Chain A
Amino acid sequence: MFKTLVLTRFSSMFFRKPKDGKKQKGNTNIYFGLIIFLILDFGFLFFSNYIVISDQFCNGTTGDGTYFALAAFLSMMLAFIGSVMTTQQQIYEAKDNELLLSMPIKPSMILSARIVVLYVWAFAFSAVNFVPALIVYAGKYALSLSGWIMAVLCLILVPLISMTVSFIIAWLIQLITSRMKNKTIFNIVLTFALMIPYMAFCMKMYNIVSFVAQRKDDVERVFKTYLYPFYACGMAVSDFNIVNFLIFLAVTIIPFAIAMTVISKTFIKIATRKKGFAKTKYVEKRLKVRSPRMAVAMKEIRHFISNSTYALNGGTGLVLQIAAAIYAVVKFSTLKEALASAINMSADYVAAVIIIGIASIGTIVEVTVCAISLEGKNLWILKSSPLKTIDILKGKLYAHLIIALPFSIISGIVINFIPGISFLNRIFAFVVPVVLQIFVAYFGLACNLRFPKLDWQNEAQAIKQSTAAFIAVFGGMGMVVLLVVLSIALYIVIPYSVLLLIITAIFGLGSFLYELYLHGKGIKRFEEL
């Protein structure tokens, strides 16, 4: 039974059971291919950071514990950020909680199955950081067999700390939000509170790594004074110090056991608590009449703003787009001088590259990419209504554009504040982000039509863990890099005006082709769902 529960949870997180019951090997391969790509991508990033840090922190003899302490601490932080929201959704908000609790299965077994899945999740985040640290160290100084054993044990234990913290936070979130009428705002604020330091860390990673690498003594003092368990972990790996290992073991296991005990004792109560809402008495108001297509669009927008996971996942790119535009205005002269001195790029071309870069941030906006998957069990409503399939698809497309285009336009307005910007760049500051966003809306919808996930247990699975979402995220990130690199590379070949025209034409044509797809194969695919 335990194995079945674990496998069910994994399959609900990663797989879609097709309607005809046939396995879709291709989709699974794409999904796992993307996960491996992500792991390698981040692994390489951490690998290069640890090369810099190890130069300053390690000498290959005893006393390299601070290096491993830092690796363990960062692994714990990464696992925590990556798993805290998943913990809350998987334990307290899973739709099958009541079903499973009504079956002759011990609650402890249900909880344990979920914890195993969460452990694997947290372990993956943790390992992406810790394994490169080990490889760098072993490659430079060779790690003894005892060192490897300790390292593996510590790697196994580190996720337990992040899970303990995640459990406590998830438990508190559930207690606070279980009787809240509008959880969305609370969850958005919370997620931003987690995301902002993380994003700041990512953006300033190089500076932070350089700063940390030059201050080994300070870092060591901080770990010894305030984060001793991690220091003990580091010393256990570098010096094979059994006492330190036992300290780390105690610090990981005991709080985890306490957290587990508390959660198992309150699991049924919290998981089955009636979702309380502050009741509002209906007061008759004039009802707004809309066309069917706009009615679908408004339904989609309402869904987007009512679900914090959807709003955050789909809307972060919008906020980033405006933030990047403001940053570009402030830092334009620095960027211009840097590119001018490096490759003799003109100010107009620099502005064009900035426009393309900011527009391409819009490619990580995800609204349409899960709009079909989110229909889930409600798909019958649209399919039994007298709506043309194209109206349904266009309604979803409109929702994306209504949400995203104001941000594209605002970013264009902000870019217009760049001093000395040419008239052509002023116009394209609006045109390129808008055209690119239209393309993103079409691309997301086509992705979701190709890879729908309708059998989710909670909406986060459709939003974040579907093949379509992975393709859109990586496609978007890849697009940002590709467009900026290509724009810079083409500097010698074409003038900035031609570059902007080509980008606009490519994505305009892409949107046109997707429009044709929607009217043909897109309609057919939706009707087959």
Chain B
Amino acid sequence: MLYINNLTKRYGQKVAVDNLTLHIAPGEIYGFIGHNGAGKTTTIKACVGLHDFDEGEITINGVSVKKDPIKCKSMIAYIPDNPDLYEFMSGIKYLNFIADVFKVSEEDRNARIDKYTELFGIKQDLANPIVSYSHGMKQKLAIVAALIHTPKLIIMDEPFVGLDPKAAFEVKEIMRNMAKEGTAFFFSTHVLEVAEKLCDHIAIIKEGHLIIDGTVEEVKGNNSLEDVFLELEGKDV
């Protein structure tokens, strides 16, 4: 589903991501782990077309992000780490706007908005302006907006930050269920426990370099993911 081949991104002299290669299959939940500034967000933003990149290739379902960004974006959903949404809109207007942008039919948008807002407990607040929402509510709204066009790939940057335990549980359940139906997930996280329990595959990145990737079992072996991560973090790149 998502192929990142030899991705390199530089900010001036600094190499933020260096020759990174990752492959995420349909129906896979792929965790992307690394310390702050390791290059996770840069990689994610390159995948969703927010950042240009210097070398390499990213394809989504065989379509190049550089050559046909619109087609790629129509297949994916992106949830940023900080849900900056249009605060002048009400929740329902925002969801309708996203549905318009992704050309979701009236019937489908109604059904999905109803289903997911009910699930996350924000349905009764949809008429209120987003500016009145808490951080968690905005995060939930961003997740509902991401699900509205049933994307084939969902890319998330720290998706569990700001969510209450119930909402975090619901998100994980949705991820598992959608993955079973073929949707791929690629997300960054600092919560190693979540990555260990939720992910099929894990990649650890340090200073823009891929340190290790593989199934959770391959990466951690007989240790905990935390031990492996801390040990790898201590090594020089």
Verify A280–B127 contact, CB threshold 8 A.
yes
Verify A275–B132 contact, CB threshold 8 A.
yes
* Chain B CB within 8 A of A388 CB: yes
The segment from B22-30, B77-85, B197-205, B229-237 found at the interface with A is B77-85
Verify A290–B127 contact, CB threshold 8 A.
no
Interface size of B as a range: 35 or more
The segment from B68-76, B169-177, B185-193 found at the interface with A is B68-76
- CB contact list, A277-330 vs B, under 8 A: 277, 279-284, 286-292, 294-296, 298-299, 302-303, 306-307
Report the bound CA distance from A380 to B123 in whole Å.
24
Instruction: With A282-B124, A380-B80 as known contacts, state yes or no: A291 contacts B100, CB within 8 Å.
Output: yes
Interface size of A as a range: 35 or more
Report the bound CA distance from A506 to B92 in whole Å.
44
Instruction: Please name all residues of chain B whose beta carbon is closer than 8 Å to the beta carbon of A302 when the two chains form the complex.
Output: 88-89, 93
Q: Using a Cβ cutoff of 8 Å, how many contacts connect chains A and B?
A: 94
Instruction: Please name all residues of chain A whose beta carbon is closer than 8 Å to the beta carbon of B99 when the two chains form the complex.
Output: 287, 289
Report the bound CA distance from A298 to B98 in whole Å.
12
Instruction: Please name all residues of chain A whose beta carbon is closer than 8 Å to the beta carbon of B2 when the two chains form the complex.
Output: none
CB distance from A49 to the nearest CB of B (A): 41
Verify A380–B73 contact, CB threshold 8 A.
no
Which single member of B73, B92, B129 contacts A384 (CB below 8 Å)?
B73
CB distance from A527 to the nearest CB of B (A): 8
Report the bound CA distance from A292 to B114 in whole Å.
22
Verify B109–A275 contact, CB threshold 8 A.
no
Nearest CB in chain B to that of A310: its residue: B88
Report the bound CA distance from A298 to B127 in whole Å.
17
Instruction: With A277-B129, A287-B109, A377-B84 as known contacts, state yes or no: A295 contacts B70, CB within 8 Å.
Output: no
Nearest CB in chain A to that of B146: its residue: A384
* Chain B CB within 8 A of A145 CB: no
- CB contact list, B67-126 vs A, under 8 A: 70-71, 73-74, 78, 80, 82, 84-86, 88-89, 91-93, 96-103, 105-106, 109-110, 113-114, 123-126
Instruction: Please name all residues of chain A whose beta carbon is closer than 8 Å to the beta carbon of B132 when the two chains form the complex.
Output: 275, 277, 279
Report the bound CA distance from A295 to B109 in whole Å.
15
Report the bound CA distance from A290 to B88 in whole Å.
19
Contact with B along A374-391 (1 / 0, CB 8 A): 001110110111111000
- CB contact list, B186-230 vs A, under 8 A: none
* Chain A CB within 8 A of B33 CB: no
* Chain A CB within 8 A of B131 CB: yes
Verify A299–B97 contact, CB threshold 8 A.
yes
Between A280, A298, A302, A386, the greatest number of chain B beta carbons within 10 A of the residue's beta carbon is seen for A386
Instruction: Please name all residues of chain B whose beta carbon is closer than 8 Å to the beta carbon of A306 when the two chains form the complex.
Output: 88
CB distance from A350 to the nearest CB of B (A): 44
Which single member of B50, B88, B100 contacts A292 (CB below 8 Å)?
B100
Instruction: With A277-B132, A287-B106, A302-B93 as known contacts, state yes or no: A378 contacts B85, CB within 8 Å.
Output: yes
Instruction: Please name all residues of chain B whose beta carbon is closer than 8 Å to the beta carbon of A383 when the two chains form the complex.
Output: 49-50
Instruction: Please name all residues of chain A whose beta carbon is closer than 8 Å to the beta carbon of B50 when the two chains form the complex.
Output: 380, 383-384
Instruction: With A386-B71, A386-B74 as known contacts, state yes or no: A289 contacts B100, CB within 8 Å.
Output: yes
Report the bound CA distance from A280 to B114 in whole Å.
17
Q: Is the interface of A mostly helix, strand, loop or mixed?
A: loop
Report the bound CA distance from A280 to B131 in whole Å.
14
CB distance from A391 to the nearest CB of B (A): 9
Verify B92–A282 contact, CB threshold 8 A.
yes
Contact with A along B124-142 (1 / 0, CB 8 A): 1111110110000000000
Between B82, B84, B101, B123, the greatest number of chain A beta carbons within 10 A of the residue's beta carbon is seen for B101
Instruction: Please name all residues of chain B whose beta carbon is closer than 8 Å to the beta carbon of A376 when the two chains form the complex.
Output: 84
CB distance from B69 to the nearest CB of A (A): 8
Report the bound CA distance from A377 to B80 in whole Å.
11
Instruction: Please name all residues of chain A whose beta carbon is closer than 8 Å to the beta carbon of B96 when the two chains form the complex.
Output: 287-288
Report the bound CA distance from A26 to B73 in whole Å.
36
Verify B102–A381 contact, CB threshold 8 A.
no
Verify A295–B97 contact, CB threshold 8 A.
yes
CB distance from A514 to the nearest CB of B (A): 24
Instruction: With A292-B101, A292-B103, A295-B100 as known contacts, state yes or no: A388 contacts B70, CB within 8 Å.
Output: yes
* Chain A CB within 8 A of B48 CB: yes
Which single member of A289, A296, A381 contacts B85 (CB below 8 Å)?
A381
Report the bound CA distance from A348 to B220 in whole Å.
87
- CB contact list, A20-38 vs B, under 8 A: 20
Nearest CB in chain B to that of A291: its residue: B100
Instruction: Please name all residues of chain B whose beta carbon is closer than 8 Å to the beta carbon of A299 when the two chains form the complex.
Output: 86, 89, 97
Report the bound CA distance from A277 to B125 in whole Å.
12
Verify B73–A275 contact, CB threshold 8 A.
no
Instruction: Please name all residues of chain B whose beta carbon is closer than 8 Å to the beta carbon of A281 when the two chains form the complex.
Output: 124, 127
Nearest CB in chain B to that of A382: its residue: B101
Verify B84–A380 contact, CB threshold 8 A.
yes
Instruction: Please name all residues of chain B whose beta carbon is closer than 8 Å to the beta carbon of A380 when the two chains form the complex.
Output: 50, 78, 80, 84
Nearest CB in chain B to that of A387: its residue: B101
- CB contact list, A375-414 vs B, under 8 A: 376-378, 380-381, 383-388
Verify A275–B131 contact, CB threshold 8 A.
yes
Instruction: Please name all residues of chain A whose beta carbon is closer than 8 Å to the beta carbon of B82 when the two chains form the complex.
Output: 377
Nearest CB in chain B to that of A22: its residue: B12
Instruction: Please name all residues of chain A whose beta carbon is closer than 8 Å to the beta carbon of B101 when the two chains form the complex.
Output: 292, 295-296, 385-387
Verify A282–B123 contact, CB threshold 8 A.
yes
Report the bound CA distance from A290 to B99 in whole Å.
9
Which single member of B88, B110, B123, B125 contacts A287 (CB below 8 Å)?
B110
Report the bound CA distance from A296 to B98 in whole Å.
10
Instruction: With A275-B131, A282-B127 as known contacts, state yes or no: A378 contacts B86, CB within 8 Å.
Output: yes
Which single member of A20, A283, A296, A387 contacts B70 (CB below 8 Å)?
A387
Other A-B pairs beyond A20-B12, A380-B78, 17, CB < 8 Å: A275-B131, A275-B132, A277-B132, A282-B125, A284-B110, A287-B106, A290-B100, A295-B97, A299-B89, A376-B84, A378-B84, A383-B49, A385-B73, A386-B70, A386-B71, A386-B73, A388-B70
The 5 A-B pairs at the shortest CB distance, nearest first, are namely A295-B100, A386-B74, A386-B73, A282-B126, A377-B84
- Interfacial residues, chain A to chain B (CB-CB below 8 A): 20, 275, 277, 279-284, 286-292, 294-296, 298-299, 302-303, 306-307, 376-378, 380-381, 383-388
25 CB contacts below 8 A, A to B, read: A275-B131, A277-B128, A277-B129, A279-B132, A282-B126, A283-B127, A287-B92, A287-B99, A288-B96, A302-B88, A303-B86, A378-B84, A378-B86, A380-B78, A380-B80, A381-B86, A383-B50, A384-B48, A384-B49, A384-B50, A385-B101, A386-B74, A387-B73, A387-B101, A388-B70
